[in-house]
Amino acid sequence: MFDPKYRITGKVAKALMGIEADRQIVATLPLTAPMLDSLRRTARLLSTHFSTQIEGNRLSPSQVQAVVEGEGNFPGRERDEAEVRHYFAALEFVEDRGDHPAVLAEKEIQNIHGLVMTGKAKPTPYRDGQNVIRNARTGGIVYMPPEAKDVKGLMKELVRWVNGSVTEAELPVPVVVALAHYQFATIHPYFDGNGRTARLLTNLLLHRSGYGLNGIYSLEEYYAANLDRYYAGLAVGDSHNYYFGRAEGDVPPFVTYFCLGMADAFAKVRTRAEEASRLDAADQSPVLRTLTPQQRQALGLFLRMKEVTRNDVAAFFKLPARQAYLLCTRWLKAGFLVVGNSSTKGRSYRLADEYEGLVSPAAKPVTKPRKPKPKR
């Protein structure tokens, strides 16, 4: 049973204090929709580039951006392009799911893996055979994960432990998330895509626990810059076999690494957000905080288009047309959108007047929004 006994060290305690301080400061900084959109997009591109780079992806940051924007066409790099598109879609899924206060479910993890591997949020089954991790240079076995017959039970234990730990709050959230990352890597439930899925699971748990920072941070950037320490923190000790040491592995090194990385990422977010806020004195945060994360994300679409159709919404969020229609309908009822063109074939939507100021440079930011209708 996964039940690590972890005591916070001085180095981790210092990192946790830095994380909390930066989180509080970022939460109170003046925000505008264009600023938030720019910071979030930069963070997603960084996360996508560095997380796929760790797995051997050869695309540069500018090429990653081109692929994400639908302009990439790099002969011989088709697999790299697919990895980038899939990871970016998975990040969007994680941020959307992070808005749901529900407990972690195995199906969510399987959906994340489905996105990583195929670009579709369909749950993928765990591996049905043995996999091994080898040294890329020598070919020697670095780690042999648990047998396939034990994977399902171990994953259920992990999900149970995460939900229990978040509820009991005996450990700080960053420590719980670090241990969840470590144990997922330990179980290695898939033949491929485990690293990317582990990093996305980390993001999901942080978003859901109030550490999402509006999606404007990138832990993957720290991982890539400190890759040797990343793997060292996940090391298994004397034996490469799960059943001879990893099951009772030494978790402090990875927890320390993770918390230091999170502190580094949050400090960078604070610096970037402070710089951005100084460039724009307008404070739209009172209005922005009345919106759901998905509605705040939708402002990025309205920064580019004054009126949108359900097909525009579907393309922006990568949703089927029917789901996009239902989303627009819910937002109409919630008072977030109003109908622009009411014709059946050309039906379009625009932001309600009190939110129009968030995306209109000529409009003064609204600082006293009316009491919002219930979020949907």
Residue 187, both tokens: 């179980």
Domain boundaries, the chain: 10-276, 285-356
Residue 315, both tokens: 């393309």
Return d(Cα 228, Cα 363) in angstroms, integer. Answer: 50
Residues 177, 182, 188, 190: is their CA dihedral positive or negative? positive
337, 341, 344, 346: CA torsion to nearest 10: -110
Return d(Cα 179, Cα 173) in angstroms, integer. Answer: 10
- Mean pLDDT score of the chain: 85
Same CATH topology for 10-276 and 285-356: the answer is no
Contact present, 198 and 190 (Cβ < 8 Å):
no
More confident residue, 13 or 73: 13
Return d(Cα 135, Cα 137) in angstroms, integer. Answer: 5
CATH of 285-356 given 3.60.40.10, 1.20.120.330, 1.10.10.10, 1.10.600.10: 1.10.10.10
DSSP assignment letter at 247: T
More confident residue, 368 or 40: 40
Longest dimension (CA), the chain: 70
Chain centroid to CA 197: how far?
Answer: 10
What is the Rg, in whole angstroms, of the alpha carbon atoms belonging to the chain? 22
Return d(Cα 171, Cα 100) in angstroms, integer. Answer: 22
Phi, psi of 134 (to 5 degrees): -115, 155
Residue-wise pLDDT tens digits, 112-154: 999 999 999 999 999 999 998 886 667 778 888 999 999 999 9
80, 85, 89, 92: CA torsion to nearest 10: 90
Which architecture, in CATH terms, is 10-276? Answer: Orthogonal Bundle (1.10)
Residue-wise pLDDT tens digits, 161-187: 999 999 998 899 999 999 999 999 999
* pTM of the predicted structure, to 2 decimals: 0.76
Q: What is the pLDDT of residue 115?
A: 96
Return d(Cα 81, Cα 83) in angstroms, integer. Answer: 5
